[in-house]
Amino acid sequence: MKNIRDNLDLSGKKVFLRADLNVPIVGNKVIDDTRIIRLIPTINFLRSKGAIIILASHFARPEGKFIPEMSLKNIVPALEKHISCKIKSIDDCIGNKVENEINRSAAEDILLLENLRFYNEEENNDIKFAEKLASLADLYVNDAFSCSHRAHASITGITRFLPSYAGLLMEEEISNLNLVLNSKAAPSVAIVGGKKVSTKFKILSFLADKVDYLIIAGAMANTFIKAQGGEVGKSYFEEDFINEARDFFNKTYKAKIFIPDDYVVKDAVSSEIEVLDTDQLKPSSQIFDIGTTSVIDICNILSSSKVVLWNGPLGLFEDEKFSTSTFFIARFIAKLTKANKLKSIVGGGDVVAAVEKSGTASSMSYISTAGGAFLEYLESGSLPGIDALKVPYQ
């Protein structure tokens, strides 16, 4: 896969830079600019080489309609704050008006196209739409790893018409996830939490054959407790996947599978909060976090590990009463990472928000910007958007 460091002559060249600017906005203001910040190195690199940057992204799900609240114009102030230069915002992403604006631009200029999903053709990977996007530029750079699990026009279709390269963030994401796929450090551990296990059996099976320890926590662990004949009371679990969870336990894997054996529960009748072992759970119990013994066990596993992949929180961390395990493990991982005893890779789901809320984000080795793409890359070792960068253009 080619990347933008490959001695390219970019002076005066028009570069179509596919980014992920699908950032959270409240009241037309960006409330989390992480994805913007992570894009800056690629933008700075391209500007330093004299390129004209045509910045493109989707935002939310407008379903082919123009919706002012979903316009990328709303993120211009946040972009300009971090890039320290003016951004020329265009109210379309294809057509003569866009072409004319680009042709009037000079080296180091940045033009922001309008939301790609204002056209249904984007998500449909319409080849004519992809060709129209490609006609705006001299070359294509994909720095949207977090979108590259989607075969959309600006991700895969466009590469058929332009010389295509990976951006710096794309390289960074791949390099760090490959530490898990190819790690020779032993032992390694994966922590997979969150609510639903139904969408994660494939990645659990994959990781169970890759790592030395697989820790399954969060509400998804409840389905595994039920599969083993345990009581989860009023707690969330997925009844339709109990047999699949049982089959998972019956298979032989490289990893030692760890399911927490004590929990912080709230009684549905009395509202009392207490810590109970798995065999003490009652029909009125509601599980919201894991208990002290399980946290200690996880810390012991981490202490003997060299690499950890963390995907998904361990409990309902949004509620202070049930945030203890997630925040404690975050701080423990951060401590080991800062001491150079552990390589920590965090991504997917709400776990990024959890480490940020715990104040440990800056201490992790790497935090991925991706959600679904994070897990899909681990499962397959590639993504449609990555594969597209390897195919010669027409």
Residue 134 known to bind ligand: no
**Among the options 12, 50, 371, 372, which is catalytic?**
372
Residue 125 known to bind ligand: no
Residue 21 known to bind ligand: yes
Residue 246 known to bind ligand: no
Amino acid at 317: F
Residue 209 known to bind ligand: no
Percent helix / strand / coil, the chain, rounded to 5: 40, 15, 40
Residue 47 known to bind ligand: no
Can you name the residues that pair with 53 across neighbouring β-strands? 15, 110
Q: For this structure, is 38 an active site residue?
A: no
Q: Are 237 and 223 in contact (CB under 8 A)?
A: yes
**Among the options 2, 73, 196, 306, which is catalytic?**
196
Q: For this structure, is 157 an active site residue?
A: no
CA distance linking residue 313 with residue 349, whole number of Å: 8
Residue 104 known to bind ligand: no
**Among the options 13, 14, 18, 35, which is catalytic?**
35
User: Collapsing DSSP states into helix, strand and coil, what is residue 346?
Assistant: strand
Q: Are 154 and 93 in contact (CB under 8 A)?
A: no
Residue 61 known to bind ligand: yes
Residue 20 known to bind ligand: yes
**Among the options 193, 291, 348, 349, which is catalytic?**
349
**CB environment 105-135: b (16+ within 10 A), e (fewer):** beeebbbbbbbbbbbebbbebbeebbbbbbe
Residue 60 known to bind ligand: yes
Residue 200 known to bind ligand: yes
Q: For this structure, is 35 an active site residue?
A: yes
CA distance linking residue 16 with residue 77, whole number of Å: 21
Q: Cα dist. 145→31, 63, 149, 206 in Å?
A: 21, 22, 8, 21
Beta strands in 126-222 (DSSP E): 139-142, 164-166, 188-192, 213-216
CA distance linking residue 159 with residue 16, whole number of Å: 11
Q: For this structure, is 14 an active site residue?
A: no
Enumerate the known binding-site residues for ATP.
200, 318
Enumerate the known binding-site residues.
20-22, 35, 58-61, 117, 150, 200, 318
Enumerate the known binding-site residues for substrate.
20-22, 35, 58-61, 117, 150
Enumerate the known binding-site residues for (2R)-3-phosphoglycerate.
35, 117, 150
| Catalytic site positions | 35, 196, 349, 372
